[in-house]
A and B are shown apart, each in its own frame.
Chain A
Amino acid sequence: TQLLEQSPQFLSIQEGENLTVYCNSSSVFSSLQWYRQEPGEGPVLLVTVVTGGEVKKLKRLTFQFGDARKDSSLHITAAQPGDTGLYLCAGKTSYDKVIFGPGTSLSVIP
């Protein structure tokens, strides 16, 4: 069974602080995606990384895919209250299935 773990599970920080959340697995994924989910809504795609070692930036968010394609990180610079939400990573397996991690719940306090 392929499993994705995310850490930390919960994170509460002050506006303006930096943070990093992690997504780890013992399995190799062909691609990995990050989603953000706000209360009462479905997840929305932020980014897809495909190549080992790949780094993508989306404004204040920086995503990195591990060299071995087993892990990924999301770094947010100068967090804002609008960044509050549940951050989910999702890995694409060799069997064309997408496996989701349990998520990191981020709260940014003004």
Chain B
Amino acid sequence: NAGVTQTPKFRVLKTGQSMTLLCAQDMNHEYMYWYRQDPGMGLRLIHYSVGEGTTAKGEVPDGYNVSRLKKQNFLLGLESAAPSQTSVYFCASSLTGNSGNTIYFGEGSWLTVV
């Protein structure tokens, strides 16, 4: 069972470079999310999507863009990476946004911006 898969798992970027994190889910989920996790701050929502072709801002959207062209994929882009974006990024999905729905997480992508 693949679940939620993220690529790449590790990446080092120079300040100012751009990159895209790829997320795919095979559970036919409507909702998808991108979180970042930093020590002592838990998981913070960057952007999310409630369905194909829709995206919305989360708690910390600045410096990131997303796209959901296909239901199973949710892409997170960094146009001009900054050291403050060094973090662990988690993609997640859920069937819907209803209370009680399980959020399934990927294994994380470790990004370092130097």
Contacts and interface: CB of A to CB of B under 8 A. Distances in A.
A in complex with B: yes
Interface of A: 4, 6, 9, 30-31, 33, 40-45, 48, 50, 88, 90, 92, 96-103
A50 B42 contact: no
B102 interface: yes
Contacts of B102: 45, 48
Nearest to A42: B105
Interface of B: 4, 33, 35, 40-45, 48, 58-59, 90, 92, 97, 99-100, 102-108
A86 B45 CA distance: 18
B30 to A, nearest CB: 12
A30 B99 contact: yes
B40 to A, nearest CB: 6
A41 B40 contact: no
B99 A42 contact: no
Contacts of B90: 42-43
A86 to B, nearest CB: 9
Contacts of A33: 103
Interface centre among A9, A41, A92, A98 (most CB of B within 10 A): A98
Given A40-B107, A41-B108, A98 B41 contact: no
Given A30-B99, A50-B100, A100 B107 contact: no
B40 A9 contact: yes
Contact of B107 (A31, A41, A96): A41
B97 A44 contact: no
Contacts of A6: 42
A53 to B, nearest CB: 16
A54 to B, nearest CB: 12
Contacts of A9: 40
A21 B59 CA distance: 25
Contact of B44 (A50, A96, A100, A103): A100
A102 B40 CA distance: 5
Contacts of A43: 43, 90, 103, 105
Interface centre among B43, B58, B59, B92 (most CB of A within 10 A): B43
